[in-house]
Chains A and B, each alone.
Chain A
Amino acid sequence: MKQNILFGNSRRAQSNRSFWLFLLPSLSAFVIFVIVPFFTGIYYSFTNWSGLNTGNESFVGFDNYRQILNDPQFGFSFLQTATYSLLAVVIINIVAFGLALLVTQNTLMKNVYRAGFFLPNLIGGLVLGYIWQFLYNRALIVWFEPSLIAVGETSILGLSIVVTWQYAGYIMMIYIAALQNVPQDLIEAATIDGANAWQRLKAITFPLVAQAFTIALFLTLVTSFKQYDTVVSLTQSGPAMQMPVWFANLYGINPITVQSTEVITYNIYETAFVRFQLGVGQAKAILFFILIGVIGGLQVYFTQKREVEM
């Protein structure tokens, strides 16, 4: 009954009109620029759309997908993206949680520390990549030679550190919010019962901030997978390296030269706008979408199992 006053049955015609009028701007922009390309994109992934035949492409069935599965560079891109994301998720969350524990202590300048650790998050990914390219290749080289991003084997570690610097302060904020919700009397009671700092952390704090872990792990994993800007300015997908023998064996080939930080997003862009194979690029994008969906879903499912109801 309550709904009747605002968008009532008695004035159904008029309220229907306002319903659509209020929706129209946002919904039409969303449908035109996101939903329509999403569906046409599924179709394009089954065509031989290339830069030269735009408008004249023809349906090729699963050819693009077959080509992708047999493409060692794409497989390697997937491997490197997964490894780098795993690394980044672990480092970011350890650093972020550590910082959160630190700045929730009763210190004099805790607000300064919070703002300071958060600050790199304001710098855009592209700009950030140039800063760190300089640091690795020109400044830190005084102590560390060769630089992390000059060698294929360590370049994804270099990338993970950059992403940690950018993102840890943000994830820290999420952990701070969670830590502040942990009841202090529980901690005090455990202290009186003789629990040491590590026992208190393990038995009280961790279970109570489990939900924040879910959010933070999900956010960092998806963000790491979608990283693009930073790679453009930090490494331009390089340096080149010889793929490992075990990986070459998967494809039944001899090891070939591959780009060590060519993450999936970079690979999609290259395929489409450098090699002009837009159909293949789109098929890669669809696989990327499915991948993110599966990982995100699994991850939320597994971490939510461990959560404690407050």
Chain B
Amino acid sequence: MQLKSNNKQKKNWNVILKQNNWTIEIISIILLILFFMPIIIVLINVGKADNNAIILDPLGFPQNYFTNFINNIERILTHRQIRYFSSFGYSLLITSLSLFAIGIFSSMAAWVLVRTKTKYSKMIFFLFLSGLVIPFQVVMLPLVRLLQDITNITGIQMKETVHGIVLTYIGFGAPLSVFMFYGFIKSVPLEIEEAAIIDGCNQRQVFFRVVFPILKPIFVTMLVLNGLWIWNDYLLPVLVLGVKNPVQTLPLSVGVLAGLYTKDWPLILTQVILAAIPLLILFLFVQKHIIKGMTSGAIK
């Protein structure tokens, strides 16, 4: 008897939930469209011929949309100071080199810090942790000077070079990455590594053949967090690479364009789309990894 009435209650609840879900579904869709409004308005306006068309009717859909849009794209792709393809290439090169180096070096450091229990290893770990609370602004002025000093003393060019900025990214990426790898490696059972040692591996082989493959999930998190930061970074490239120099990343090229054509909105917006599109396309394919990486990174 009781079971029956319980079921009945449940059924009523399901009906109510179902009705509710449609309202929620519609609210969600409306909110999502509202959230995308900025992008939609930008997409409307990249198809306008010049700024006058925007001033006359900023929200209207233009005539000859595609002709104008393609024309704007062409102006950017062939522009000598914007150098879209070269900027894209440098962004890709700097981001991937930095990610590769941060990933390998930070995980190496984290591994020996977990597996050695000396007062040094504790101290060094806390030194890395202290880097988490240092805002970039606190070190940026001495850093610029230091890079110049390194060049003066050793003759190695640090500013305006790819290796210069990649080396700085390794340093700035270390705290968070070491911290995340440290937490993960702590949960990896030691027995696997012991077995490898007994089988005759040396420490290098233990790390690269046994430990490294286990790190895959946290490696993805690290790639996402650092990748988004480095790809979109503006201030550090401004200081290390400078503006209008041969080595130029995508955010720098956006800044250059906006400085050159302060009033040419169709052109600026086209460049905005061209700068944002590579990551958005990537997001479509590896959406799950990006969201999971960002979230688990924050919770740790």
Task: List chain A positions with a Cβ less than 8 A from chain B.
Answer: 2-3, 5-7, 15, 18-19, 22-23, 25-27, 29-38, 40-41, 44, 54, 99, 102-103, 105-110, 112-127, 130-132, 134-135, 138-139, 141-142, 165, 170, 173-174, 176-177, 215, 219, 226, 228-229, 232-233, 265, 268-269, 272, 278, 281-282, 285-286, 288-289, 292-293, 296
With known contacts A122-B283, A131-B42, A292-B133, A33–B117 Cβ distance under 8 A: no
Nearest residue (CB) in A for B121 is: A19
Q: How far is the CB of B146 from chain A (nearest CB, A)?
A: 6
With known contacts A25-B170, A115-B291, A19–B58 Cβ distance under 8 A: no
Report how far A225 CA is from B207 CA in the complex, Å. Answer: 39
Do the beta carbons of A135 and B138 come within 8 Å of each other? no
Pick the contact of A25: B58, B108, B194, B280 (CB < 8 A). B108
Do the beta carbons of B32 and A215 come within 8 Å of each other? no
Q: How far is the CB of A284 from chain B (nearest CB, A)?
A: 8
B77 interface contact, C-beta 8 A: no
Report how far A120 CA is from B54 CA in the complex, Å. Answer: 24
Q: How far is the CB of B152 from chain A (nearest CB, A)?
A: 10
Do the beta carbons of A108 and B25 come within 8 Å of each other? yes
Do the beta carbons of A130 and B35 come within 8 Å of each other? no
Do the beta carbons of A30 and B283 come within 8 Å of each other? no
5 closest A-B pairs (Cβ-Cβ)?
A: A124-B232, A33-B171, A37-B142, A29-B171, A26-B109
Q: Which of B2-47 contact A (CB under 8 A)?
A: 17, 20-21, 24-25, 27-29, 31-32, 35-36, 38-39, 41-42, 45
With known contacts A130-B254, A173-B294, A173-B295, A125–B116 Cβ distance under 8 A: no
With known contacts A6-B206, A22-B207, A139-B59, A116–B258 Cβ distance under 8 A: no
Report how far A222 CA is from B207 CA in the complex, Å. Answer: 36
Report how far A124 CA is from B178 CA in the complex, Å. Answer: 25
With known contacts A288-B137, A288-B138, A37–B112 Cβ distance under 8 A: no
Q: Which of B94-142 contact A (CB under 8 A)?
A: 101, 105-106, 108-109, 111-113, 115-117, 120-121, 124, 127-128, 131, 133-142
Do the beta carbons of B207 and A131 come within 8 Å of each other? no
List chain A residues, Cβ under 8 A from B131.
Answer: 30, 34-35
Do the beta carbons of A7 and B172 come within 8 Å of each other? no
Report how far A39 CA is from B295 CA in the complex, Å. Answer: 33
B275 interface contact, C-beta 8 A: yes
Q: Which stretch (B63-71, B82-90, B264-272) binds chain A?
A: B264-272
Task: List chain B positions with a Cβ less than 8 A from chain A.
Answer: 17, 20-21, 24-25, 27-29, 31-32, 35-36, 38-39, 41-42, 45, 54-55, 58-59, 101, 105-106, 108-109, 111-113, 115-117, 120-121, 124, 127-128, 131, 133-143, 145-146, 167-168, 170-172, 174-175, 178, 190, 193-194, 197-198, 203-204, 206-207, 228, 231-235, 251, 254-255, 258, 265, 268-269, 272, 275-276, 279-280, 283, 287, 290-291, 294-295, 298-299
List chain B residues, Cβ under 8 A from A19.
Answer: 112, 116, 120-121
Looking at chain B's contact residues, the main secondary structure is: helix
Pick the contact of A122: B36, B276, B298 (CB < 8 A). B276
Pick the contact of B138: A99, A113, A176, A285 (CB < 8 A). A285
Report how far A38 CA is from B171 CA in the complex, Å. Answer: 13
Can you give 12 contacting A-B residue pairs, CB < 8 Å? Answer: A3-B115, A29-B168, A30-B170, A107-B21, A121-B228, A122-B283, A126-B232, A127-B254, A127-B272, A127-B276, A131-B39, A139-B59
Do the beta carbons of A173 and B135 come within 8 Å of each other? no
List chain B residues, Cβ under 8 A from A142.
Answer: 58-59
Report how far A138 CA is from B53 CA in the complex, Å. Answer: 11
List chain A residues, Cβ under 8 A from B134.
Answer: 34, 38, 289
Pick the contact of A285: B141, B171, B197 (CB < 8 A). B141
List chain A residues, Cβ under 8 A from B268.
Answer: 130, 134
